Amino acid sequence: RPPLAARPSTVAGAHTPEAPTPYELVTGYNNFYEFGTDKEDPARLAHRMRLRPWTVQVDGLVARPLTLDLDDLLKLAPMEERVYRLRCVEGWSMVIPWIGYSLSALIEHARPLGSAKFVEFHTLADRETMPGLRSSVLLWPYVEGLRMDEARHPLTLLAFGLYGELLPPQNGAPLRVVVPWKYGFKSAKSIVRIRFVERQPATAWSVAAPHEYGFYANVNPDVPHPRWSQATERRLGQGGLFAPRVKTQPFNGYAEQVAGLYAGMDLRRFY
């Protein structure tokens, strides 16, 4: 894959000291239901996705609606490398060296109106190249969303690459968001539209199973999921079969940077 140059990020919390998960696991074990529900499906099928030309529509409550080409987006801000923990709601986790820049750079560029309270991400839904769309597991296109202050937080990354190269298709090429303190499903892949709205977006998993997946989906060991214990997690690629599970940290270990966003909120209610 083509390399993507980047400098180390200076954003607080952007470099976890933990060892990155091997490339083969990062690119071989993915949830990307547009290509199928097995973890191996995306690595097998996502190469069908047409990545060029790629445009992102930026609209809704903004001073200037835009349609940005991928080349514009790649040049919008300097590329940074950030090593984030990724915690899946299914109880496993990875450590991934991403490349991109803070989503806030794009938000400033689009100049949202004061009435914009949330950001919605719409991801690609192409029936020709995405066999998973035939399944009714979720509503397509996959929609995710963040509150404006979450979207503007410097740790919220608009990612274009990982491990020093452009994103492999199965990891959400050509661009995705990465929100390291939330469960992985909040980090929308292969984004085609970014919309600023006043009301809380109806996000894919919170519509599919509202009792299990909330809008916020902050990593929280104290709020159990009926299927997966959230108290602990399995760090993939470390020790294989007998690797003990490790304790899950509130906000996936990013509490110092992000807990303030939720001051006064009952996180058991807003899970």
Partner 1 sequence: MDRWLRAAKPWALLLLAAPAAWLWALALADRLGANPAEALIRGLGLWALRLLWLTLLVTPLRQLTGWQALAGWRRGLGLWAFGYALLHLLAYAWLDQGGDLAAIARDVAQRPFILVGAVAVLLLVPLAATSFDAAIRRLGARRWRALHRLVYAVALLALLHWFWMRSGKRLWGEVAVYAALLALLLGWRLRAAVSRARARAPAATGRPPSRARG
Q: Are 162 and 173 in contact (CB under 8 A)?
A: no
Closest contact distance (angstroms) between CB of 176 and partner 1 is 20
Three-state secondary structure along 87-147?
Answer: ECCCCEEEEEEEEEEEHHHHHHHHCECCCCCEEEEEECCCCCCCHHHHCCCCCCCCEEEEE
Q: Are 167 and 47 in contact (CB under 8 A)?
A: no
For the sheet with 143-147, list strands across it: 66-69, 55-60, 191-197, 118-123, 143-147
- Residue closer to partner 1 (CB basis): 23 or 79: 23
C-alpha span between 138 and 142 (Å, rounded): 7
Closest contact distance (angstroms) between CB of 210 and partner 1 is 12
Closest contact distance (angstroms) between CB of 152 and partner 1 is 31
- Residue closer to partner 1 (CB basis): 113 or 139: 139
Closest contact distance (angstroms) between CB of 129 and partner 1 is 22
How far the first Cα of the chain sits from its last, in Å, is 38
- Residue closer to partner 1 (CB basis): 64 or 247: 247
- Residue closer to partner 1 (CB basis): 85 or 195: 85
Binding site for partner 1 (CB under 8 A): 25, 28-29, 37, 39-40, 90, 92, 137-138, 208-209, 212, 224-229, 231, 234, 236-237, 240-245
Q: Are 95 and 20 in contact (CB under 8 A)?
A: yes
Q: How many CB atoms lie within 10 A of CB 112?
A: 21
Helix (H) or strand (E) run with residue 73 in it: helix 70-75
Go through the chain and tell me how many residues it has: 271
Closest contact distance (angstroms) between CB of 26 and partner 1 is 9
Specify the DSSP class assigned to residue 190. Answer: S
Closest contact distance (angstroms) between CB of 137 and partner 1 is 5
- Residue closer to partner 1 (CB basis): 93 or 156: 93
- Residue closer to partner 1 (CB basis): 92 or 196: 92
